[in-house]
Amino acid sequence: MAQKTVLVLGCGPNIGSSTVGTFRKSGYRVVSASRSCDGEASDDSTMALKCDLAQPKSVEYLFKTVREEWGEPSVVVYNGCAYYPTKPEESFNIPTENFEQQLAINTTSAFVAMREAANSFARLDGSKTLIFTGTMANEGGVPGWLTLCVGKAAGAYMIDLAENVYREQDARFHCVDERTSEGKPMFEGLGGQAHADVFLDLAERKVDLPWQVTFVSGKGYVEFPHELIL
């Protein structure tokens, strides 16, 4: 069996780094992409590539490079995230250029990644998975987090749509959302390894979960009511 390739977009020191390490230990070839990656392969199963998620064309080039080097990825993790926190009463007090840049990272580049992943998945046999690091923004408005929530809510919509369109082709699309034990949003203190463990379970089909995967660190998947809990 050919070695599977996972492409991780947005390799920061927490969720991204944990995801890279977890999939590597599980036998995957891992491509990590971020603005700070050095562009050099460290070995036959690890490759680091530069990719600026604020520039959606950069995502197109990233997929092109991965295909040329290792073929089509069977797992794609979109972990891009940008936000401009404000006081709740100043939620719309955001410079236009900041809104546009963060929309590119949270939404437009995510769209490009989903489109390119769907193209890759159509050329592969067996199971394929795309995972989007989400928030509970699609459940309702959260004052003070406008740019993050607009982008993540749009991403959740695309994941829901893709799951319906491609599931019969053995391709799954998931929005993974960490919550507190009470179901409240986790905008800070996110568990990197907890996310990575959920990502691997989804990619390996160890669990059959819906497109929106809400989980609590240490417990795994927990289904919460579809309403905003603040």
Q: Give the DSSP H or E segment for 199.
A: helix 192-203
Cα-to-chain-centroid distance, residue 71:
20
Tell me if 6 sits within 8 A of 75, measured CB to CB: yes
Local structure of 77: helix, strand or coil: strand
For the chain, strand residue ranges (E) read 5-9, 29-34, 41-43, 46-50, 75-78, 128-133, 171-178, 212-216, 220-221
User: How far apart (Å, rounded) are the C-alpha atoms in residues 39 and 9?
Assistant: 14
List the structure tokens of 187: 């905008």
Catalytic residues: 152
End-to-end CA distance of the chain: 47
